[in-house]
Amino acid sequence: MAKLILILGDQLSLSLSALQVADKDTDIIVMAEVAEEGTYVRHHPKKIALILAAMRKFAEQLRAEGWTVAYTRLDDAENTGSIAEEILRRAAQSGADEVIATTPGEWRLIRHLQSLPLKVSLRPDTRFIATRADFNDWAEGRKQLRMEYFYRKMRRKTGLLMEGDNPAGGKWNYDQENRKAPPKDIRAPGPMQFTPDDETEEVLDLVERRFGDHFGDLRPFHFAVTRADALRAMAHFIRHGLPLFGDYQDAMMTGQKWLYHSVLSPYLNIGLLQPMELCVAAEEAWKAGDVPLNAAEGFIRQVLGWREFVRGIYFLEGEDYPQRNVLGHDRALPPLYWGAETGMHCLSQAVSQTREEAYAHHIQRLMVTGNFALLAGIDPQEVHEWYLAVYADAFEWVEAPNTVGMSQFADGGIVGSKPYVSSGAYINRMSDYCKSCAYSVSRKVGEGACPFNLLYWHFLDRHRERFSANPRMGNMYRSWDRMDAEKRAQILEEADAFLAGLEAGGTV
């Protein structure tokens, strides 16, 4: 009897484990564009369009290779609106009573599939370098789970940037060389961009009709939607972006959306690219003398280290992880995250870029939008849903540990050993944003003082009981304690006033 082979919109790989056990002669591949997947959070229109266009291209490729594909388009009259209902509809049509799927990267979908009144076989997702068992074995018995040590294990496992048992160049990472301030001259052309063909334009029109009221600009649309074009984008980055990626990967500049970043994560996370091919390409460029070691290592660490690590955390911690809130933060996400006016130039830049491109790089996410949300005590569930909605590369397995864990410290320190908070000084050091801000980064108190300066100390003060004994935060508290008592009181009073204005919905 025929079996149904489910392929989701972030599983667009011919190497997919569900395909490896399927019978091309008898089985039916099920792919479906459904409203539920675009609206359980209100996803950015560019993100929806990327996934739908790439799904249609992948379905064409499967048919060309001889597979039978039952494909449901979003505007099909018989579309039931959910993945689970589409499976049941296709099962009724075909008489199939078994579904084979590669395990989704989200607990929500796993539970949907497990609740079906059919036999459901979930296969491991083999598109990662570390299996879930690999990660669980590494994590077992450890008091703290730190990415750096997992990364070293992965380097040894793969042999990437290794010289025998030792790391190439004698160091495991080159963080100190990868934190340069914004460059004076920008020569990188940015990521390769693609002109939509007629089929993709049809998708754009559909997304505009159905999701046009979601936050985000749909056009211009320039993502790759096929593996062939994603490979071209990868080659373009390795040649033009990677040589200076390491130096400036933490830098931020007004009006410069891309700098030397790859913008390959959307393709990686929907299956058009594979993690090892990215890492090998970076390593080969270093071996050929085309890029410095700090650039190759910095890029490989993001893919081999961080990406694999957060996926391990997501499944290890279980399905309640995105709801954690150990700091008890409960303020509503302010309107500025949806594009409302703000005098804070760094936030305005990060949010406007997010609206336009469904993209911001890791420091913009962590140290601007994330830092502000943490300092201001925003409900981490609302922050989590915002990040999941607005970024083209955001899927819960990768987004939740980055947001709930690293950015908001809502997991209590599972991902990070301390909260990633900073005053305005860090943003000023790593960007040119402060030069164009309505606030003064040099002012600690008084009219025009940078809100990051006020909120930083306010955060430390209100969470003193939790963090004062943290060895990585001792200097912060000693600095706070050395301040004049009147100055401390003024900081807290002005921070309270700022937060009251934020809650009232005023322009900040």
Whichever domain contains 300, its CATH number is: 1.25.40.80
Mean pLDDT to the nearest integer, 154-159: 98
* Together in a domain, 113 and 139: no
Q: Percent of the chain, pLDDT > 90?
A: 97
Residue 167, preceding peptide bond in cis (omega within 30° of 0): no
From 283, 313, 343, the end of a domain falls on: 313
Strand partners, 122: 101
* Tally of domains within the chain: 3
How confident is the model at residue 368, as a pLDDT? 98
Across the chain, what does the average pLDDT equal?
97
Mean pLDDT to the nearest integer, 150-159: 98
Task: Inform me whether the pLDDT recorded for 177 exceeds 90.
Answer: no
How confident is the model at residue 486, as a pLDDT? 97
Is residue 295, in this structure, part of any structural domain at all?
Answer: yes
pLDDT (tens digit, 9 = 90+) per residue, 182-217? 998 888 889 999 999 999 999 999 999 999 999 999
Is residue 489, in this structure, part of any structural domain at all?
Answer: yes
How confident is the model at residue 189, as a pLDDT? 86
Is residue 458, in this structure, part of any structural domain at all?
Answer: yes
pLDDT (tens digit, 9 = 90+) per residue, 468-508? 999 999 999 999 999 999 999 999 999 999 999 999 998 99
* Together in a domain, 272 and 368: no
Rg (CA), the chain: 23
From 106, 123, 140, the end of a domain falls on: 123
- Quote the CA–CA distance of 355 and 391 in Å, as a whole number: 9
* Together in a domain, 59 and 150: no
Is residue 360, in this structure, part of any structural domain at all?
Answer: yes
On whether the CB atoms of residues 251 and 180 are closer than 8 A, the answer is yes
Q: How far apart are the first and last CA of the chain?
A: 63
Task: Inform me whether the pLDDT recorded for 175 exceeds 90.
Answer: no
Full residue range of the structural domain in which residue 397 is found: 335-503
How confident is the model at residue 288, as a pLDDT? 98
Is residue 322, in this structure, part of any structural domain at all?
Answer: no
* Together in a domain, 117 and 168: no
Residue type, 72: T
Q: How is residue 432 written in tokens?
A: 């040119």
159 class by beta-carbon count within 10 Å (0-12 exposed, 13-18 middle, 19+ buried): exposed
* Together in a domain, 93 and 151: no
Q: Is this model's pTM higher than 0.85 or not?
A: yes
The 3-state DSSP composition of the chain as helix, strand, coil percent (nearest 5) reads 55, 5, 40
pLDDT (tens digit, 9 = 90+) per residue, 307-361? 999 999 999 999 999 999 999 999 999 999 999 999 999 999 999 999 999 999 9
- Quote the CA–CA distance of 203 and 439 in Å, as a whole number: 42
Mean pLDDT to the nearest integer, 395-420: 97
Is residue 318, in this structure, part of any structural domain at all?
Answer: no
- Quote the CA–CA distance of 62 and 85 in Å, as a whole number: 23
Mean pLDDT to the nearest integer, 151-164: 97
Task: Inform me whether the pLDDT recorded for 298 exceeds 90.
Answer: yes
* Together in a domain, 493 and 359: yes
Q: How is residue 242 written in tokens?
A: 């990677």
* Together in a domain, 235 and 367: no
* Together in a domain, 156 and 305: yes
How confident is the model at residue 188, as a pLDDT? 84
Is residue 191, in this structure, part of any structural domain at all?
Answer: yes
How confident is the model at residue 185, as a pLDDT? 86
Strand partners, 69: 29
3-state secondary structure of 507: coil
From 282, 313, 344, the end of a domain falls on: 313
